[in-house]
Structure 1
Amino acid sequence: MSHPDPVVGYRALLALPGVPLVLTAATLARLSYATFVLSLLLAVQSATGSYAAAGTALGVYGLTASTMPAKARLLDTVGARRVLPLLSTLFALALTGLAVAAGGGVTAVPVHVAGAAVAGVVAPPVGPTVRAVWARLTPDPGSRQRAYGLDAVVESGLFALGPVLAAALAQTAGPALALAGTAVVHLLGGLLMAVSPLLARPGSASPAAPPPSRRPCSPLRRVLGPLARPGYAVLLVFTFATGLGNDPLEVAVVARGQQAGATAPGLLLAVLSVSAAAGGLAWGHLVGTARGRRLRRASPWSVLAVLAAVTSVAAAAAALAPGVAWLVVALVVVGAAGAPLAVVVYTAADRLSGLDGGAEATTWVNTATNLGASLGTAGAGALVDAHGTASAFWAGAAVTAAAAVGAWSRRWCAHPTATGAADGGRAPGRGRRGRPAGRRGRRSRSRRRR
């Protein structure tokens, strides 16, 4: 009778030495990101009287925040305990400057846009840093997927709670104070996170990756880093496509919810967040079971294709939903499949990048997802205005379906580092049935040499 590989449970993960401190600090720092978007929009709009200026400031922040991979590489090479306090302090100062400008009634739009640009440049990669800690604590694939699932649950909950807190604080104390409170929370979380000894170790090379070449690395490959690894860039294209197709569904959800009532959009978005949290927990439980053993050994491209296909079908069902009740069912499926998809992508990024335990591996994934989501959100808004909410759902379904087809086709030509022996690949030096290539293999090679 076969038994599943030992997978660390949720309680054991949370009890690992140093983990409670890191999670508490990271929760504070991530909560600041969850409150930042709405706080910035409200603060800039109240100071300038223009939603266009607020949107421009937020868009510029998104563009400059795409420098996250460079900052993550700096964390991996120099050390998170040195870089993270500096970036957290600079980010808090940038938010404080924006809050002072908004509270002081500065109406010049370039001032707010410049402040948002600076904030994006110095914003620290908190999420990838936490995942790097989890990667170093969980070398086996099953425990790592469970840890990433727990991380996805925490992140989903914070980004569901953050806008509510920001709106409440802005209404009671003013948008400028809401932005200043975001700065204080982030600084506290960032500095507390840097104290942890778990951030002292830099990322190591992936055990599933092939040994590095003895030849000196070219300057171009050194600059590209994980982008030069086989299959890693393809994974980023996949994440860009899923961000392009999945995240803009929120625009269609809000538009459809407004037709049902004033409170419906918030409730529908809450359904997405809660179902994503439940999906992350369920996936983490599944990978530790006997069935999960086969799932862990499957090609990640096959798993990603199935999850993307499920999301595509659910988005199409949302487009055809005759009422709010059916729409809720479709959104539950979208959210429940979204968290496992992110977990598998992060795990594959660790393996493909050759930076197992490094922050840069998953930072590129976040950047690709955010770029796709930004473009998709703008496109979804235009589709809703021109053709209604169903068109945005159909567009999201089509994009994620294309991503699923691409991932399914990729599984036939996946690079060995994408799966490895732990994921069902054949280990080097092993025969067809997993036995060492003994005398027969050596004899055949000697014949070929003669």
Structure 2
Amino acid sequence: MSASSITPSYAAVLRTRYACRTFGAALLGRLSYGMVSLSLVLAIKEATDSYAVAGTVMALFGLTSVLLSPTRAGLVDRYGPRRALPPMAAAYALLLTGLAFATSWPGTSGILLGGLAVPAGACTPPLGPVMRTLWRDLVPDPRLLQRAFSLDTVAEELLFVTGPLLVGLLLHIATPSAGLAVSAALVLTGSLALTSSPAVRGEVGHKKTSAGPAPSEELDSGAQPAPPGRRPWQGGPGMLQAIAVSAAVGMCLGAFNLLVIAFTDEHKDPAAVTWILAALSGGSAIGGLIYGAVPWRVPSRMRLAFLAAALGLTLATTGLSTHPYALIAWAALGGLFIAPAITTTYLIADECAHPAARTKAGAWVNTAFNAGSAGATAATGLLVGRLPLPACFALAAAPAVLSAATALHRPPRRPAAVTAAPPVSERTSDAEQQAPATGE
């Protein structure tokens, strides 16, 4: 049964041919990313007995991973996931294994650890963008695609909650370096399983004409697909909006995580941090599932603006809380807008991207989120203690509210020649173009 002929639901997404196999493999590999950061910090701290070294090496690892994400995604677009992912995954797993071995010995040189961490970050396989682009082939029906993207976003967020818990369990039976070894095994196994899926081998059977929006639906995100060689800021207002809002959401969350710690310290209740962050994640998961199940008629550009503004205003109001319990409630409310906003940024990027550059488009959105989170965390650290906490919360919320203004720039109407169906020769599958739809 084809994906377009069944009732839209999350169950229908998972019943789509090859969906469970492909998605499960991607999640297995992506679980590594939920474990590796904490494992790396703990392992380096134990080996060097220095928080400074641990923080520096982690920063190098994170920066190379984030900044080179579009480049790695571009390689997947150019050569296809079957040719690009295995070498990346093998190199990444080998370097993580090297870090696990190096950190198992006390007194290991920080220079050696940094020398392993930098190339490891540079080789991080873009499993998230790859999976998000494969969803376009697996479920070409736009109604199912929205649910697939929502499911993907919620699952990814839950992985980053589950990962640290698994690291904590490992610490009861092994050293922190074991977490790095497990992360290496997960990413290699998941990547190889993903590339062996028939969906990656081009056996899904959908043609490119079915992979785009339905004929009755207009690309409401702001532009016709941009040529694969163009920069993201040349992809039209839709792509710019996706990147801007993604960065703003990342800034909000990066700042919020640090402000929560400051808030609970101020109220002499540090244990409340876990409950507040759990409420944020729980609200995000619920919001994402509800959002994906609603058949929206409002253009994605306007939906994204509303979600960004609602997140920012809720975060600003959160700073007025007088007790950690109140902050828990506001965090749960704010979380309702996080997964829907992130899902919409990926949907817009997918709509705006050229079929041969979808992985890179998704990677730019992902990079914007991570860069915004890292930058806001650093900036918030400088503000805490210098400004009242309510003012810090308001400043952290400002980027999300301001990013909503990106929806005010209406895209020009496309001429009829642009909206016409492409020639038959161009309507080939991703596998035939050797540029499969993939995302980070």
Match runs of 1:86-165 below 5 Å: 86-165=87-166
Alpha-carbon distance in structure 1 between the residues aligned to 2:188 and 2:310: 39
Task: After superposition, give the CA deviation of every residue in 1:153-194 in whole Å (9 maximum; x if it has no partner).
Answer: 111111111112112313431111121111112211111111
Match runs of 1:394-405 below 5 Å: 394-404=394-404
Q: One-letter code of the match for 2:159? A: L
Q: Which of 223, 227, 230 pairs up with 2:236? A: 230
**Counterpart secondary structure, 2:199:** helix
Aligned twin of 1:276 = 284
Alpha-carbon distance in structure 1 between the residues aligned to 2:360 and 2:52: 33
Q: CA deviation at 1:331?
A: 0.7
Aligned twin of 1:372 = 372
CA contact (8 A) 1:350 1:356 kept: no
Distance 1:260 1:284, change over 3 A: farther
Q: CA deviation at 1:52?
A: 1.4
**Counterpart secondary structure, 2:140:** coil
Alpha-carbon distance in structure 1 between the residues aligned to 2:385 and 2:175: 31
Distance 1:7 1:373, change over 3 A: farther
Q: One-letter code of the match for 2:240? A: A
Aligned twin of 2:259 = 252
Q: One-letter code of the match for 1:179? A: L
Moved more, 51-60 or 120-129: 51-60
Distance 1:79 1:156, change over 3 A: same
Q: CA deviation at 1:21?
A: 1.3
Aligned twin of 1:190 = 191
Aligned twin of 1:308 = 308
Q: One-letter code of the match for 1:246? A: L
Q: One-letter code of the match for 1:233? A: L
**Counterpart secondary structure, 1:92:** helix
Aligned twin of 2:84 = 83
Distance 1:334 1:58, change over 3 A: same
Match runs of 1:35-50 below 5 Å: 35-50=35-50
Alpha-carbon distance in structure 2 between the residues aligned to 1:282 and 1:167: 31
Task: After superposition, give the CA deviation of every residue in 1:8-32 in whole Å (9 maximum; x if it has no partner).
Answer: 2111110111111112211111111
Alpha-carbon distance in structure 2 between the residues aligned to 1:355 and 1:110: 42
Distance 1:27 1:247, change over 3 A: same
Distance 1:9 1:263, change over 3 A: same
Moved more, 33-42 or 165-174: 165-174
Identity of aligned residues (%): 32
Q: CA deviation at 1:278?
A: 0.6
CA contact (8 A) 1:204 1:358 kept: no
Alpha-carbon distance in structure 1 between the residues aligned to 2:248 and 2:85: 30
CA contact (8 A) 1:135 1:356 kept: no
**Counterpart secondary structure, 2:378:** helix
Q: CA deviation at 1:101?
A: 0.8
Q: CA deviation at 1:257?
A: 3.1
Q: One-letter code of the match for 1:148? A: F
Q: CA deviation at 1:200?
A: 2.5
Q: CA deviation at 1:69?
A: 1.2
Alpha-carbon distance in structure 2 between the residues aligned to 1:249 and 1:301: 25
The answer to whether 1:266 aligns with 2:270 is no
Q: CA deviation at 1:227?
A: 4.4
**Counterpart secondary structure, 1:173:** coil
Distance 1:118 1:204, change over 3 A: farther
CA contact (8 A) 2:16 2:139 kept: no
The answer to whether 1:56 aligns with 2:56 is yes
Distance 1:415 1:330, change over 3 A: farther
Superposed CA RMSD: 2.8
Q: Which one has a bigger Cα radius of gyration?
A: 1
Q: One-letter code of the match for 2:407? A: W
Alpha-carbon distance in structure 1 between the residues aligned to 2:373 and 2:285: 20
Distance 1:187 1:415, change over 3 A: farther
CA contact (8 A) 2:153 2:288 kept: yes
Aligned twin of 1:433 = none
Aligned twin of 1:242 = 249
Task: After superposition, give the CA deviation of every residue in 1:61-81 in whole Å (9 maximum; x if it has no partner).
Answer: 122112111111211221111
**Counterpart secondary structure, 1:372:** helix
Residue-pair matches, total = 401
Distance 1:302 1:274, change over 3 A: same
Moved more, 201-210 or 60-69: 201-210
User: 5+ residue gaps in structure 2?
Assistant: 214-218, 422-440
Q: CA deviation at 1:238?
A: 3.1
Aligned twin of 1:438 = none
Aligned twin of 1:20 = 20
User: 5+ residue gaps in structure 1?
Assistant: 214-220, 430-450
The structure where helix makes up a greater share of residues is: 1
Distance 1:388 1:61, change over 3 A: farther
Q: CA deviation at 1:268?
A: 1.2
CA contact (8 A) 1:249 1:392 kept: no
Alpha-carbon distance in structure 2 between the residues aligned to 1:238 and 1:307: 9
Q: One-letter code of the match for 1:10? A: Y
